A and B are shown apart, each in its own frame.
Chain A
Amino acid sequence: MSAGGLNLTLHVWRQSGPNKAGKIVDYPATNISPEMSFLEMLDTVNEGLITSGQDPIAFDHDCREGICGSCGVMINGAAHGPMKQTTACQLHMRTFKNGDEIWIEPWRAGAFPVIKDLVVDRGAFDRIIQAGGFISAPTGSPQDANSLPISKLDADDAMDAAACIGCGACVAACPNASASLFTAAKITHLGRLPQGQPERYRRALAMVTQMDIEGFGGCTLFGECQEACPKGISIDTIVQMNRDYIVAAASEREEKVEMGAG
């Protein structure tokens, strides 16, 4: 490689399995091209580890285009690293300089248990969606798409919130390990659209309740989540969530039992 190659020292969290003790292990990363992505740098280190008979560092990744939400590690204490609105796979090594030390750790949150090394279990996010993060529109039932005009502003706001990739950086960055930004993004996406109105309050109540059950912390509006979010989702969504939740909690009543028609 050219003279521009970087020589770095990595301090990586290694943990052989769930509920096992983990520790930071140091590895040199030599001759790293500034054109590499952060994950390609890890690939390079792993190739060296395998060749020398060691266990490679496990990390989640898939699309490497910043959209699937698989990847995500703490890089020098920041979720996805130092660059704003950038996932770890889109972070390039030109951000670092020769001689840098890089601390790499998994997301830290009780609700995201470590599976191995940098891989965590984010199943709690799926269960929050299961609680109500959808519009009940069974296949085949809808009307023509243009029969329901939606103002461009509402559609744009919904899209801003819908851009969430479910990576978990918001939880990892939050001092309380709260999942509020993730949950609020979905509540805002669906709640901003006319199609989402019938289930709006039910949804907010169920999703917030599930978030608590999963063991995520409460939101105290530190705002770290919006700083860490690779898709730039705003904490304004949390305001929307809280408003819908309060309305829902205040107006909660038992659902009527449907009587048979014959």
Chain B
Amino acid sequence: MDLNSRIPEGPLAEKWDKHRFEMKLVNPANKRKFHVIVVGSGLAGASASATLSELGYNVSCFCFQDTPRRAHSIAAQGGINAAKNYRNDGDSVQRLFYDTVKGGDFRAREANVYRLAQVSVNIIDQCVAQGVPFAREYGGLLANRSFGGAQVSRTFYARGQTGQQLLLGAYQALEKEIARGGVRMYNRHEMLDVVVIDGVARGIVTRDMVTGKVQSHVADAVVLGTGGYGNVYFLSTNAMGCNVTATYRAYKKGAAFANPCFTQIHPTCIPQSGDHQSKLTLMSESLRNDGRVWVPKKKEDCGKKPGDIAEEDRDYYLERKYPSFGNLSPRDIASRAAKEVCDEGRGVGPGGRGVYLDFADAINRLGESAIRERYGNLFEMYARITDENPYKVPMRIYPAVHYTMGGLWVDYNLMSTIPGLHVIGEANFSDHGANRLGASALMQGLADGYFVLPYTVGNYLASAKLAKVTADHPEFKAAVDKVQAMTDKLLSIKGTRTVDSIHRELGNIMWEKCGMARNEKGLKEALELIPKLRDEFWNNVNVPGSGAELNQSLEKAGRVADFLDFAELMVTDALHREESCGGHFREEYQEEGEAKRNDEKFAYAAAWEYAGEGKAPILNKEPLVFDNVHLSTRSYK
């Protein structure tokens, strides 16, 4: 497998400029002759679709929701990073680059991260021009807040709805282009296969979720912006529809899947309330600006009301263990620290799986109205879900699956190992290494979609020699038949288990064996359990209804089928990576409770190649070279 990262030559700071100049351009009059398919309409997909259309390409955009505005980017709360240095606190492109590489525990590709930091400043300009109502100071200039893993204040925000406002900006640009005729939008369509002809991606097969019609779409380039795979855990902060199907099926067609075991467990989520739970709700990391995290020092205090526990009997464990970053330690570290104190029996709330996030000090210092101004909507959401008033009693939080750093392997041009198949946003693996810093997902999605992909797709189209292909091509017919056969199979099993019950069971295996902490024994057990559950699914699942109508059980069944395959790949990756780094914490590899990397053996991206049904995937390695950042042990102490 060719894992050429195509990183341009030259000094880090000049690579992107140089590359932009060297890339081939498509003549404006020829652009409309090229058809580009974009799957997904989140920050990455919507911004890419709109921008490609503005440039003159003929774009088709697909989403499974009823409108592109509902893509899960909408749920991001806290903010978006950019190296504007508006605070004059010493920020720079170099510092954002450094923080991101370090935050990712030195498992990301330097050149991509540097470019991300460079274009971050353009994103804020672009979004403001579109009318994104970022928070402002009284002087009319943009406000900032701090986020984990950084000692500068570089996060731009729109109350607790930053993702919503950025997505609406991209969505509105997309709708503008739909109205102009540059983009054709396919709502309620699910991509079920990528079609590869003569070694290059030439289109996709979709199912119309209302009529059930399976259809071929031919294109000159295909872009996947289909998000992450956190729902392999069943319970996560992802939306219910988030799935791995598009990326996993691309993997089966030859796209390498990189670092699938790198998953992010977010430290501040509302704890689970019972077995009925369908998803978990995040409380923005921005809350850690003013909230203090603590648990009782003594186990026997855990049952007491928090107000009855004296100050000296509280353990502000993040402040104690990481004095320089304190409550703003990176996500993986804060999550593991919470697990640790709960494992010691000092957790609070039902089942002892929770820690306090306390605003009392901030309310005393700044007043309740200042806190309401900053986090009002988050406090309301918390109160609605838990029936508790966080202005009066501390919030209870617990880590939950939130984001996946792994994804399809891409080169510097965001192209996968299948030529013509590009991957953007959370769906690719490139920028966050083994741990993503807060407020960096929005930055990456928009960087890819607005400022990187539109150039690199042009370069691909100008260089590729593509033969004319129609939907009658045997590869399209074969893909349609395969999709149809899978639908028929799922509907024919008529067993006794619901799709959700099997998904829940899979999630439980993954959380227990491949969650916040992993070890060889547990991972090997997971490799026994997953195939058994997969057999159970294919022999005993019950999918009601038909394929020729809106059938939500059928949609879920297809996604869970892919999760059942993908889970094994994830565990295989976690087992092979005999080190701890970022979100991947192998219990065997630690030093005083902190992750212990092994740079000698594992300073590479693990790009897994599909080897065929029932065969072990093939490991390919892209060595990670750090010329500009000194490889060091992450310390937030």
Task: Report if A220 contacts B (CB, 8 A).
Answer: no
Query: Which residues of the other chain, B, contact A40 by a CB distance below 8 angstroms?
Result: 276-278
Count residues on chain B whose CB falls below 8 Å from chain A CBs: 81
Q: Check B544–A166 contact: CB distance below 8 A.
A: no
Kindly name the residue among B75, B158, B179, B276 whose own CB sees the greatest number of chain A CB atoms within 10 A: B276
Choose one: A54, A69, A86, A145; the contact of B124 (CB below 8 Å).
Answer: A145
Task: Report if A158 contacts B (CB, 8 A).
Answer: yes
Interface locus among A45-53, A73-81, A173-181, A248-256: A45-53
Provide the bound-state CA to CA distance between A257 and B540, in Å. Answer: 66
Q: In angstroms, how far is the closest chain B Cβ from the Cβ of A29?
A: 12
Chain A residues 115-152 with CB under 8 Å of chain B are 115-116, 119, 121-123, 125-126, 129-131, 133-146, 148-152
Q: Check A149–B66 contact: CB distance below 8 A.
A: no
Query: Which residues of the other chain, A, contact B84 by a CB distance below 8 angstroms?
Result: 145-146
Q: Check A122–B66 contact: CB distance below 8 A.
A: yes
Choose one: A62, A64, A119; the contact of B550 (CB below 8 Å).
Answer: A119
Task: Report if B307 contacts A (CB, 8 A).
Answer: no
Q: Check B384–A125 contact: CB distance below 8 A.
A: no
Q: Check A145–B158 contact: CB distance below 8 A.
A: no
Q: In angstroms, how far is the closest chain A Cβ from the Cβ of B139?
A: 7
Q: Could you say which interface size class chain A belongs to?
A: 35 or more
Q: Check A60–B131 contact: CB distance below 8 A.
A: no
Q: Check B136–A151 contact: CB distance below 8 A.
A: yes
Query: Which residues of the other chain, A, contact B65 by a CB distance below 8 angstroms?
Result: 62, 68, 70
Q: Check B498–A115 contact: CB distance below 8 A.
A: no
Q: Check A146–B161 contact: CB distance below 8 A.
A: no
Task: Report if A33 contacts B (CB, 8 A).
Answer: yes
Given contacts A92-B387, A125-B67, A166-B69, contact A137 B129 (CB under 8 A): yes
Question: Inter-chain contact count A-B, CB under 8 Å?
Answer: 217
Task: Report if B564 contacts A (CB, 8 A).
Answer: no
Q: Check A51–B131 contact: CB distance below 8 A.
A: no
Given contacts A50-B544, A63-B72, A150-B140, contact A141 B129 (CB under 8 A): yes
Q: Check B134–A47 contact: CB distance below 8 A.
A: no
Given contacts A68-B75, A142-B125, A151-B136, contact A135 B131 (CB under 8 A): yes
Provide the bound-state CA to CA distance between A142 and B122, in Å. Answer: 8
Name which residue of chain A comes closest to B242, CB basis. A62
Task: Report if B617 contacts A (CB, 8 A).
Answer: no
Task: Report if B635 contacts A (CB, 8 A).
Answer: no
Task: Report if A14 contacts B (CB, 8 A).
Answer: no
Q: In angstroms, how far is the closest chain B Cβ from the Cβ of A240?
A: 15
Q: Check B129–A195 contact: CB distance below 8 A.
A: yes
Provide the bound-state CA to CA distance between A146 and B451, in Å. Answer: 20
Type the 1/0 row for A1-37, where 1 means its CB is closer than 8 Å to any CB of B: 0000000000000001110000000000000010111
Type the 1/0 row for B126-145, where 1 means its CB is closer than 8 Å to any CB of A: 11111101111111111000
Type the 1/0 row for B219-253, where 1 means its CB is closer than 8 Å to any CB of A: 00000000000000000010111000000000000
Chain A residues 174-233 with CB under 8 Å of chain B are 189-190, 193, 195-196
Given contacts A56-B552, A86-B384, contact A139 B75 (CB under 8 A): no
Q: In angstroms, how far is the closest chain A Cβ from the Cβ of B16?
A: 14
Name which residue of chain A comes closest to B123, CB basis. A145
Choose one: B138, B237, B278; the contact of A152 (CB below 8 Å).
Answer: B138
B→A interface (CB under 8 Å): 47, 50-51, 54, 65-70, 72, 74-75, 84, 86, 122, 124-131, 133-142, 158-159, 161, 164-165, 168, 171-173, 175-176, 178-179, 185, 187, 210, 237, 239-241, 273-274, 276-279, 281-282, 380-381, 384-385, 387, 450-451, 454, 496, 498, 500-501, 542, 544-545, 549-550, 552-553
22 residue pairs bridging A and B, Cβ less than 8 Å apart: A39-B278, A40-B277, A47-B500, A50-B544, A56-B552, A61-B240, A62-B70, A62-B239, A63-B74, A63-B239, A64-B240, A69-B69, A69-B74, A116-B549, A126-B69, A142-B126, A150-B136, A151-B136, A155-B135, A159-B159, A163-B164, A193-B133
Q: Sorted from nearest, which 9 A-B pairs have the closest CB atoms? A: A149-B140, A142-B129, A134-B172, A137-B129, A130-B179, A159-B133, A145-B128, A155-B136, A158-B133
